[in-house]
Structure 1
């Protein structure tokens, strides 16, 4: 399934939260700027999850 369709869903591997996101490498950041925004949002969500667990 396409990452953009499932990235806002919650998935767990046992008790560990797993977040699907894009792997952005090298030139891809320059080519697909919309995915850079989605990746930025995903990282912010991950930080919020980590902070809530502390």
Structure 2
């Protein structure tokens, strides 16, 4: 079983794989789409900075 555990991908490695695949895909995007995604990211960041999170 230990050999199987070594071959199974971990959540961290899956995240890295998915992130690298996403970056490769993003390189091929047109400039206007890159700009739109960037401005959307900025708006989301601004929204999250304004959020007030209360814990009960």
> Which protein is richer in strand relative to its size?
1
TM-score range, shorter chain: 0.3 to 0.5
Higher relative contact order (CA 8 A, sep 6+): 1
